[in-house]
Amino acid sequence: MSYAPPLDATALPPPLPRWLQETPRRAPPLTEASAPPPALSFELFPPRAEAQDAAFWACIRRFERLQPAFVSVTYGAGGSTQARTHAVVERIARESSLLPAAHLTCVGATRAEVDAVAHRYWEAGIRHVVALRGDMPGGGQYQPHPGGYAYAADLVAGLKRIADFEISVAAYPETHPEAPGPAADLDNLKRKLDAGATRAITQYFFEAETFLRFLDRVRAAGIAAPIVPGILPITNFAQAVKFSAACGARVPDWLGRLFEGLDDDPETRRMVAAVVATEQVRMLQANGIGAFHFYTLNRPELVSGIAQVLGIRPRAAQPVSGPAGCTG
């Protein structure tokens, strides 16, 4: 499927009014449905076992109805997990109307092994790779594989030598936890884009202001590439706190208060998650942002609700079936 609207540099909105120097703009009331629907892309993880394939494909069919710009499929550590990513990406390209992007990491593999995966994707018609360093399986200090690509910027350059891939890379509004500081992290982002990446997708964050301040710094550093905010609708607050501590995303107090008393009420938690994520997106839209990448956790029902409020209408119905979430 085609990008509509395309997420390329020519489609960039005019430069943002600098967040720190002007009065922040608030999201308009919902009754003022004047904003054009945003371009959405979705991150999925591959089914963890063959037994979950059917549920995963029911989920893919629901995501198809929302006609995202692309769907990206995560890449774990370890052979069988990675093989599932390859299989899923290729099947999405073959059997759905979705445009897949394959995540690929540097961890635990030689350059030749990573290159072989990239060649295989290109031959299968996969043109978009999300190029990442990855983390050590089981945690711990990152060690480049001897003979491997050391960092994401090296991987981007390697991919570009293989073929003219469209490449997305990661960006960190709150700074990557291992970076010496925000300026060094921004230099690293610039290296990845200079090496041939097309856009950056950000780590998730919970305050629109966090992203807008970051974007100000990115543009001030002379980076013109699209920076797409990563949005995580959270349904499990305790889990989000744990995960956020590891990846350096600050969890504001107000978010915790919204989930108080809901430990045994997943349905209400989902509704709260949808409201919070929708408001975050609308705040960013009000400040000129037009494309969003959702960390869906394979939950089409949540993302469908958010997309509906954002003005996206599902494609003419094929019957929707299957469980609410896809794979656990």
Nearest distance, CB of residue 182 and ligand FAD, angstroms: 10
How close are the terminal C-alpha atoms of the chain, in Å? 28
Rounded distance between C-alpha atoms, residue 204 and residue 249, angstroms: 7
Q: Please, which residue, 25 or 217, has the CB nearer to ligand FAD?
A: 217
As measured in angstroms, the least distance from the Cβ of 9 to ligand FAD is: 19
Q: Provide the mask over 46-85, with x wherever binding to ligand FAD is found by CB under 6 A and - wherever it is not.
A: ----------------------------xx----------
3-state secondary structure the chain: CCCCCCCCHHHCCCCCCCCCCCCCCCCCCCCCCCCCCCEEEEEECCCCCHHHHHHHHHHHHHHHHCCCCCEEECCCCCHHHHHHHHHHHHHHHHHCCCCEEEEEECCCCCHHHHHHHHHHHHHCCCCEEEEECCCCCCCCCCCCCCCCCCCHHHHHHHHHHHCCCEEEEEECCCCCCCCCCHHHHHHHHHHHHHCCCCEEEEEECCCHHHHHHHHHHHHHCCCCCCEEEEECCCCCHHHHHHHHHHHCCCCCHHHHHHCCCCCCCHHHHHHHHHHHHHHHHHHHHHCCCCEEEEECCCCHHHHHHHHHHCCCCCCCCCCCCCCCCCCC
C-beta of 27 vs 291, nearer to ligand FAD: 291
Among residues 22, 95, 123, 178, which is the contact residue for ligand FAD, using CB under 6 A? 178
Determine which residue in the list 176, 199, 269, 270 makes contact with ligand FAD, applying CB under 6 A.
176
75 or 121: CB nearest ligand FAD = 75
Q: Considering only the stretches 34-42, 60-68, 146-154, 218-226, report the one whose residues sit in contact with ligand FAD under the rule CB under 6 A.
A: 146-154
**In the bound complex, what is the minimum distance in angstroms from residue 187's beta carbon to ligand FAD?**
8
Q: Would you count residue 151 as binding ligand FAD (CB under 6 A)?
A: yes
Residue written as tokens 């469908």?
304
Q: Which stretch binds ligand FAD (CB under 6 A): 1-9, 87-95, 171-179, 320-328?
A: 171-179
Residue choice 134, 158, 173, 196 for contact with ligand FAD (CB under 6 A): 134
**Is 269 near ligand FAD (CB under 6 A)?**
no
Stretch that binds ligand FAD, among 47-55, 63-71, 93-101, 170-178 (CB under 6 A): 170-178
Closest-CA residue to 41 (of 173, 147, 198, 246): 198
Among 83, 184, 224, 245, binds ligand FAD (CB under 6 A): 184
**Tokens at 116, concatenated:** 């072989």
Q: Which of 65, 84, 128, 133 binds ligand FAD (CB under 6 A)?
A: 133
Count the site residues for ligand FAD by CB under 6 A: 23
Asked if 198 interacts with ligand FAD (CB under 6 A), we say no
Active-site residue (options: 22, 43, 279, 301)? 43
Q: State phi, psi for 15 to the nearest 5 degrees.
A: -50, 140
Q: Is position 64 annotated as part of the catalytic site? A: no
Nearest to residue 100, comparing CAs of 119, 124, 78?
124
Site string for ligand FAD, 86-125 (x = CB under 6 A): -----------------x-x--------------------
In angstroms, what is the minimal distance from the CB of 21 to ligand FAD?
Answer: 28
Instruction: Give the interface with ligand FAD as residue ranges (CB under 6 A).
Output: 74-75, 103, 105, 130, 132-135, 151-153, 170, 176, 178-179, 184-185, 188, 192, 201, 203, 230
As annotated, the active-site residues are: 43
